[in-house]
Every structure is written in structure tokens, then in C-alpha cells.
Amino acid sequence: MKTIGLLGGMSWESSLLYYKIINEGVKAKLGGLHSAKIVMVSVDFEEIEILQHKDKWEKLGEILANEAQNIERAGAECLLICTNTMHKVAHWVESAIKIPLIHIADATAKALLQDGIQKVGLLGTAFTMEQDFYKSRLQEHGLEVVVPKKQDRELIHNVIYNELCLGECKATSKEAYLEIIEKLTKEGAEGVILGCTEIGMLVKQSDTKVKLYDTTTIHTQSAVEFACSAKE
């Protein structure tokens, strides 16, 4: 089995899910007492969040690249950045290591295309919904991406940082998210990406008939496939 590298803490709430889902996936695949071989570095999200909102992305790239190198030195054979938003600095991280980076948007695009989805809605932080680093990666796979209107984007962003990253899941926020998902389908979205690793804590597939693509689940499944594949 290959060793998975996790760069987490953004937030630790979703990184906890990464660790849990990956281990459950390895156990389901290999049986017995098998569990995943994981090297993990968890950063202090307070420091990261401050730099995000100050638009200090180069500094963030340096921080994550340095931690990625620590993960590689510890024996990881692949790397996952356990957050959608921080894939904005994925090119800094990727250039700093020799092991493969499993990109969350690539893994998500693959799942969408396998289901025949062509037009998809995207929920996430304001950075993910409004900036080009994530949408363009999806578009490179031939997908059409639609995002909520400005007021709805603000609500989604605020719930992520002020509630979900603090481990709070409010019924009123779930209702608001589900209403936004419905709006995206009226704009032609055939499915909706939960493009922040915390959103799956709030909204589940059982809450809506709209096909949801939880990036945490998709990303971790890609890691399990990598870990259990034959070594070259």
C-alpha cells in the first residue's frame, strides 16, 4: 500500500473527515484490519484565514509548499491539499515536491464526466466561486460552470467561515443552501458541486433530489484508489 500525504487544518473539521473517509475506504477495499498509511501536517487555520482575506496568496503558497515538502520527507507518495480554496496555490505546492499532487478539481471533474454532466453549479468560498483558479480547471475538462448570484455567494461564504469552520450546522443555513441549489438548477445546472470541504457537513444528498458532488468524498476516494494501486 502507498502512503497518502494530507495537508490539512483548513479547517480541521473537514480534515477530520478526510482521515475518517480514507481509512473507511481502505478498509472496505482491502478488508480485515487494514487501515490507510497516512502522513499528515495540520496547519493553524487562523493564520491561513487572515492571509486569505488580506489577499496574501504568494505567502500562503510559500507556507503550504514548505509543509508539503515536510510531508514528502516523511514518506508520503502522493499529496492531497484538504481544502478547495487553497488549491489557488496548488501550482506553488506542486512545483515544490516530487510526488504527485491529486488535484481536487480534476478528481471532481472526472466524477462529473463519468455521470454525463456537462453543466454544473458550484458552491464554495467567495474565492472559489468568484476567482478563476477553480472554475477554469473544471472548464479545461469541458464543463460549463455556473455560480450563484452575488447575494447568495456572500451568504454561502459567511456560513462557511462563521459557522461550518467552527463546527456549527444551523437549520436556517441548510435551508438557505438548499434554496440556492434549486436556483442553480433553474439556470440549467445538471448537478451541483459542494466545492468547499465543509459544506458536506451541512448539506447531504438525502436533503435534495439535485445530484450533489461532495468534493471531500470525491477527493478521498481518489486517494484510496492511489494508495491501493500497484506500486510502479
From the list 78, 82, 165, 196, the catalytic residue is 196
- HSE value, Cβ hemisphere, 13 Å, CA-based, for 222: 25
Residue 120 CA to its chain's centroid (Å): 16
- Round to whole Å and give the CA distance between 214 and 192: 9
- pLDDT score recorded for residue 230: 74
**Exposure class string for 7-37: b at 16+ Cβ within 10 A, else e:** bbbbbbbbbebbbebbbebbeeeeeeeeebe
C-alpha angle 218-181-57 in degrees, rounded to nearest 5: 60
**Residue 222 Cα distances to 21, 43, 56, 82, 204, angstroms:** 11, 22, 30, 12, 20
- Round to whole Å and give the CA distance between 217 and 163: 21
> Would you say how long the chain is, in residues?
232
- Round to whole Å and give the CA distance between 90 and 64: 9
C-alpha angle 46-157-154 in degrees, rounded to nearest 5: 135
Annotation marks residue 82 as catalytic = no
- pLDDT score recorded for residue 214: 96
Q: Which domains does the chain have, with CATH numbers?
A: 3-103+218-228 (3.40.50.1860), 105-214 (3.40.50.1860)
Q: Print pLDDT tens along the chain (232 aa).
A: 999 999 999 999 999 999 999 999 999 999 999 999 999 999 999 999 999 999 999 999 999 999 999 999 999 999 999 999 999 999 999 999 999 999 999 999 999 999 999 999 999 999 999 999 999 999 999 999 999 999 999 999 999 999 999 999 999 999 999 999 999 999 999 999 999 999 999 999 999 999 999 999 999 999 999 999 976 6
Annotation marks residue 196 as catalytic = yes
Cβ atoms of 56 and 86 within 8 Å: the answer is no
From the list 78, 82, 83, 165, the catalytic residue is 83
> Where does residue 133 rank: exposed (0-12), middle (13-18), buried (19+ CB within 10 A)?
middle
**Exposure class string for 172-194: b at 16+ Cβ within 10 A, else e:** ebbebbeebbeebbeeebbbbbb
| pTM of the predicted model as reported, rounded to 2 decimal places | 0.92
Residues 6+ away with beta carbon under 8 Å from 168: none
**How does DSSP assign 30-72, residue by residue?**
H-TT---EEEEEE--HHHHHHHHHTT-HHHHHHHHHHHHHHHH
